[in-house]
Amino acid sequence: MLDVQTSAAVTLRDYRSQIPEPDRGQVEELLAGLTPTRPCYRGSYRFLTIGQRTLILEEHGWAQFDASGQLKRRLGIVNDVTARKHTEAELRQSEKRLHPALSAAHG
């Protein structure tokens, strides 16, 4: 999975402690903005594994509120998008290197 801990129980505090700043603040701000009229969220952030690898995670989900508007729970999915993000960055670099050659050939 995400190499969070070796014990069976992982608390939200344990999980969030592995999100480095400033990403942790952005995640907390995103979640603090959930309301009964805006229950859905989506964000990405870096995550430091116990093995000291940095992953890029994408999380999306929704919050459930009770009749008085109090948050009951959040449901969602977290995907490891590290490989995709690295591939996208490599593609952008390749495009930057090729652009001058293509411009000269068509210029």
> What is the per-residue pLDDT across 66-104, written as a single tens digit (0 to 9) for each?
999 999 999 999 999 999 999 999 999 998 888 887 788
**Confidence band (pLDDT; 50, 70, 90) for 8?**
low
Would you give the end-to-end CA distance of the chain in angstroms?
Answer: 50
**Phi then psi dihedrals of residue 4, to 5 deg:** -80, -60
21-55 pLDDT per residue, tens: 999 999 999 999 999 999 999 999 999 998 889 99
The pTM assigned to this predicted structure is 0.77
Query: What was the pLDDT predicted at 51?
Result: 87
| Token representation of residue 88 | 């996208």
Query: What was the pLDDT predicted at 99?
Result: 83
